Amino acid sequence: MGTNKEWWRGAVIYQIYPRSYMDSNADGIGDLRGIISKLDYVSSLGVDAIWLSPFFRSPMKDFGYDISDYRDVDPIFGTIDDFRLLLKEAHARGLKIILDQVWSHTSDQHNWFKESRANKTNAKHDWYIWADCKPDGTPPNNWLSIFGGSAWEWDTRREQYYLHHFLTCQPALNLWNQDVRKEITDTARYWLDMGIDGFRLDVINCALSHPDLLDNPIRTPDMPPPTDMNSSNPMSRQIRSNAYGYLSDDTFKWLNTLRGVANDYKDIFLMGEIGGDNNEITATKYTQTGQRLHSAYSFGLTGKTITKDLVLRTVQNIEKEIGDGWITYALGNHDNVRFASNHGQHQDARHKYGMMGMALLLSLRGTVCMYQGEELGLPTAEISFEDMQDPYDIRMHPDSMNRDGGRTPMPWVENAPMAGFSAAPKTWLPVSETHVPLAVDIQENDGASLLNAYRRFLKWRRATPALRLGDIKILETPDNIVAFTRSHEGKILLCVYNTANTEQAFTLPEGWNPSPLPLYSSEYKMEGRTVKFGSYGFAFFEA
């Protein structure tokens, strides 16, 4: 039986999207050896772990989230030996490695599906969700795909529909089948035996659907809109969380099986991506001490403009429901508009907004995920329709999320071809001209850069138990000010943020030292016990 020292509580996890991090072989696509070459940079940030988006063998219709072999590396990223070297080199630097696994569906090019679709009597005939059509030939129910249209696709070989919550080439696994579950747990053990430190489980909340394929209920006009998609997606018309398309209670039992596998190893972390109608509340249900997941990933702040109301609603909803579970916060990821683009077009305002977002995120009670380039303040790149790669954006165009704009190559060197990302004449997505002046080498040499601010703050967070592990208490504040305390074993910090692009004032409560911690505070001045915050200013105080 393994142990778990809970290293992940309060940890900071750096998400790397391998296609866009660093290209080592001049083919225009990032790869594992490219990541290895930048591990010293990742270590210098002061993060605790790396979350690697999928690098497994795949036809890349959804850029790795359509897996055709769970146990092999796709050749565009390298080899299994390259991954072993990456793991060794990361561990040598004190960095843990978390793999992004997709265990709710596979690619239609996976051998399991090829066999399953051949006929209704083969050994894997029920490894996926198959259903007969209605008498009129239409799909068996009203379930919709997140990528638009019906969640059912007709297969002429079986003369049945198969379920897909995403692209038609991503058939849903039948996790009611115990043989499928054993294959998944065996896959988990394959990577855990190699020495990885945990899994980020993609869209794990849609792992199980109602076996009777009952229609999802319809959202009525008086219901609030879902928090994870806009009205341009027809799925926003249906109730999904704990409805029939997504069965939470049965998924919890399945997660307990995975938790049992993790418990057989030492210090393993399971984090789930949990979407749904009311994400921050739904996510809390997936994490509990001793069962389900160690932590659930909240989209409460991700891809949104930071406002006082947003922060208070997200944090208070989570704290009210989380119990003995543990949440993971993020401002951005590969599926969303970059955080720096959620406000303004002026570089000065964007820089201040990025600083405030950094200070807020890294002060919340939970684990934190940072997305590559966030530490540079990269805005979302503008991508022409001709250059778009993401199937979701193409399908939803022109009302797309511009996910491609958050996936463009990382800028390393200002005065180098392709900003130092690749020696290729063309990269898989264009290097953004707006990113080049924000390149790593420029910010390395600028003491006031966002990159160096992240390094200072991350070093402070790691050394401050109140920020990593402490309780949180929201204070009543005026106007656009957000304030809360973090407390741990008698140590208390007061964290105050101006979420507006205008000057705001805050009166420091009695008992607090009216001298902010200068290394970690920004855009403020003290007038007695009054803090005058400039645009997106913030400050930290000790009692």
Catalytic residue positions, numbered: 202, 273
What is the separation of C-alpha 169 from the centre of its chain, rounded to a whole number of angstroms? Answer: 23
Please tell me what DSSP assigns to residue 306.
-
Virtual torsion, Cα 53, 56, 62, 65, nearest 10 deg: -60
For 317, what's the count of Cα atoms within 13 Å in the CB-facing half-sphere?
Answer: 18
How far apart CA 218 and CA 243 sit, in angstroms, is 10
Q: Report the amino acid identity of residue 179.
A: D
Q: Print the SS3 string covering 443-456.
A: HHCCCCCHHHHHHH
Under DSSP, the state recorded for 230 is: -
**Count of CA atoms in the C-beta half-sphere (13 A) of 527:** 8
Pairing of strands 69-73, 152-155: unpaired
Going from the C-alpha of 341 to that of each of 15, 102, 402, 418, 445, the distances in angstroms are 18, 29, 11, 22, 24
Which residues, 6+ apart, have CB-to-CB distance to 191 below 8 Å?
A: 99, 101, 199
Torsion of CA 315, 233, 275, 186, to 10 degrees: -160
User: At a CB cut-off of 8 Å and minimum separation 6, what does 75 contact?
Assistant: 57
| 173/33 Cα distance (integer angstroms) | 32
According to DSSP, the β-strands at 96-101 and 152-155 are unpaired
Q: Which residues contact 203 (CB under 8 A, 6 or more apart)?
A: 102, 104, 165, 166, 273, 275
Q: List C-alpha distances in Å: 348 to 226, 246, 432.
A: 33, 44, 19
Bridge partners of residue 270, in order along the sequence: 199
Cα–Cα separations (whole angstroms), residue 30 to 79, 82, 355, 439, 520: 13, 13, 28, 17, 34
The tokens of 153 are what?
A: 């696709």
The answer to whether 96 and 7 have CB atoms below 8 angstroms apart is yes
